[in-house]
Amino acid sequence: MEIKSRTISKGTATGDVIVSRDAISFYGGVDPNTGVVVEKGHALEGKTVAGKILVFPRGKGSTVGSYTIYRLKKNKVAPLAIINKETEAIVAVGAIISDIPAIDKLEKDAYKNLKAGQTVTVDGNKGVLILR
């Protein structure tokens, strides 16, 4: 099943979903060397975003978050792709400079139905999410 979306960053990736209903601050909230969420009290605290399709509503915090996403990619611990409810500038820039496929504004409010462990394909070239 294909769900239309808005493309933020081109590319494709297939993998397992990890979901947070909390916004994510990459600067200070995610360890750029390990990909582990370190923000105290965050829904994903102690979990890694590395090699996952990361689903979260939007980013928050410092503009340095864009560079932190880039560091995650350089350290090979970045998410395979990003799905947001609505992407803001920090996450958009981070995804684009890091060549991480990113989409948002899923049709039919499909964002809220994504579940941890579900395998999906993010196709930022076509602006679709493919449910497996």
Q: Which of 20, 62, 66, 98 is catalytic?
A: 62
Q: Please name the amino acid found at residue 100.
A: I
Residues forming beta bridges with residue 104, ordered by sequence position: 6
Distance CA(43)–CA(124), nearest Å, equals 26
Instruction: Give the CA distances from residue 14 to residues 43, 61, 86, 118, 129, in Å, rounded to whole numbers and listed in that order.
Output: 23, 28, 21, 11, 10
- 9 is known as an active-site residue: no
- Residues marked active site are found at 62
